[in-house]
Amino acid sequence: MTVIDNQVVVNRPVAEVYGFLADCNNHQQLMPEEAYNWSSTRDTASFAIKNMAKLSIKVNNRNENSEVVFGPSEKVPFDVTLRWRVEPQGDHATLASLVVEAELNMMMKMLAAKPLQKLVDAQVGKLKEILEK
């Protein structure tokens, strides 16, 4: 199992951060410039990333003010889970963590680990930037 993660403290209450992350429509704002052909509902998102395949994800589980778990909504070459976790840091701050868990063979890991880490880093950075405006 390959685990790729990053976290950030967002100066907003946990309910606000969770509310943003629980709606797939908001995730377009977290995507890097290389993402295009975005389509979403509250529970699903479909998009492509330059030099990568088209991706379709869905919400598998929501634990209010705690966690949102996403998985593929179409067949993919390897099992993958995206997990946003939020933890209160006092009344007005939240620790937000994005964890990607993927079943990658050695070859896929060599190809995918760096772009996945870049995606995770970009998303946590943009979350802080957007919510602290």
The CATH number for 112's domain is: 3.30.530.20
Amino acid identity, residue 50? Answer: K
Going by their DSSP bridges, the two strands 2-10 and 35-40 should be labelled as unpaired
Quote the domain boundaries for residue 58. 2-131
Number of compact structural domains in the chain? 1
In order along its 133 residues, the chain shows pLDDT tens digits of 999 999 999 999 999 999 999 999 999 999 988 889 999 999 999 998 776 668 899 999 999 999 999 999 988 777 889 999 999 999 899 999 999 999 988 988 888 888 889 989 999 999 999 999 8
Measured CA to CA in angstroms, residue 106 lies from 1, 3, 22, 103, 114 at distances of 11, 13, 32, 10, 13
Output the CA torsion 50→56→59→60 (10° steps).
Answer: -120
Digit-coded pLDDT (tens) for 99-122:
999 998 898 888 888 888 998 999
Digit-coded pLDDT (tens) for 54-65:
889 999 999 999
pTM of the predicted protein model:
0.92
Q: Are 62 and 49 in contact (CB under 8 A)?
A: no
